[in-house]
Amino acid sequence: MSEIIRVEHLKYVYNPGMPDETAALDDVSFSIEEGDFVGIIGSTGSGKSTLIGHFNGLNRPTSGKIIVDGKDMWAEGSDLRSFRFLVGLVFQYPEYQLFEETCAKDIAFGPKNMGLDDAEIERRVKEAAAFTGLSDDLLQRSPFELSGGQKRRVAIAGVMAMEPRILVLDEPAAGLDPEGRDTILSQIKAYHEKTGITVVLVSHSMEDIAKYANRVLVMSHAKVAMYDTVEKVFARAPELLELGLSVPQVTQIFLKLRQKGLDIPIDVYTVPYAVKTIRRLWQQEQGKGGGADAS
Ligand SMILES: Nc1ncnc2c1ncn2[C@@H]1O[C@H](COP(=O)(O)OP(=O)(O)OP(=O)(O)O)[C@@H](O)[C@H]1O
């Protein structure tokens, strides 16, 4: 795998020199490998949205560097437009930006702007609609007639249709009911698996990140607090709780049992993994005392 994004000593200050000056990012450095699915989590105001706004040049660093696909985004003579095609950014509540008379036209808007021919635009609209589960009938309807979840999927399809090498999503499931959340996040996961493109997903939910991402970046007070595989980050569950992040219930139960003196791992974040772990521990225990089958 090769590196697709590198962030070097990134600092970003809102309203510099004003009484309400805020350092939203302070000496942030990390890199993302091409093909990774990175979840970004952190408490409110920790700098997540400000950070991802740097990936396609929406925010310009106060200092530090953003290197995408080996190119320094803000180097002299750099072509910002090329970075905007390379990195597809889905904002929070992207459905507010829908404006065309049909969903198909809305999805085609980005590819059209890229100067692609009609056949290629049509192919991309169809493919993006398939990734987001939008039927042909729905494509011909006005986005304003759709449900919240459907509108959200149209907006995401519009970014997918630009075929970015990196798809960045800011809370794509925010405000949706549990079924809508699962639909959208599973579709993003399937898209990642099918295309192999890099996905960066900001979420408030540790549960979602554990389920969909393979690496986790934890932000706290404008800095990177942790950046590692899902397993390694969950193994630091007590620190996550100290940072004010809610970890999955199953992790909390294991944590409590460990605090009570049981020698058990805490890198447990899914129910199937927890069941497997309990079964293994049970079998070990039975083995000590003569052995019985726990299944
Ligand atoms: N346009 C702005 N002007 C001034 N300060 C801002 C602006 N946008 C964000 N901030 C401040 O910068 C800091 C980081 O904000 P940011 O939105 O990046 O955090 P976040 O982790 O994405 O938060 P949330 O989870 O609430 O979306 C916060 O202190 C916030 O108040």
Q: Which residue is it, tokens 């595989």?
A: 229
**Same domain flag for 147 and 260:** no
Domain encompassing residue 255? 248-295
Query: What φ, ψ does residue 27 adopt, rounded to 5°?
Result: 55, 55
**pTM (2 decimals)?**
0.89
CB of residue 42 inside a 6 A radius of ligand 1: yes
**Same domain flag for 228 and 255:** no
- Helical segments of 59-113, H only: 80-86, 103-113
**Same domain flag for 200 and 57:** yes
- Residue closest via CA to ligand 1's atom 3 equals 14
**Same domain flag for 226 and 95:** yes
Among 202, 220, 244, residue at a domain's last position: 244
**Same domain flag for 233 and 117:** yes
Q: Which helix (H) or strand (E) holds 274?
A: helix 271-288
- d(C-alpha 67, C-alpha 129), whole Å: 31
Q: Which helix (H) or strand (E) holds 101?
A: none
Give the model's pLDDT for residue 189. 96
CB of residue 50 inside a 6 A radius of ligand 1: yes
**Same domain flag for 77 and 165:** yes
Give the model's pLDDT for residue 188. 97
**Rounded (5°) CA angle 198-1-84:** 35
ipTM above 0.95, yes or no: yes
Strands 63-68 and 71-72: antiparallel
Counting from 1 in the atom list of ligand 1, the atom nearest the Cα of 204 is 25
CB of residue 53 inside a 6 A radius of ligand 1: no
Displacement of CA 180 from its chain's centroid (Å): 16
**Same domain flag for 221 and 99:** yes
Give the model's pLDDT for residue 269. 66
**Same domain flag for 26 and 108:** yes
CATH number of the domain bearing residue 39: 3.40.50.300
CA 102 to centroid of ligand 1, rounded, Å: 33
Among 1-15, 48-62, 170-184, which stretch is predicted with the lowest mean pLDDT? 170-184
CA 22 to centroid of ligand 1, rounded, Å: 9
CB of residue 22 inside a 6 A radius of ligand 1: yes
- Residue closest via CA to ligand 1's atom 31 equals 45
- d(C-alpha 248, C-alpha 272), whole Å: 13
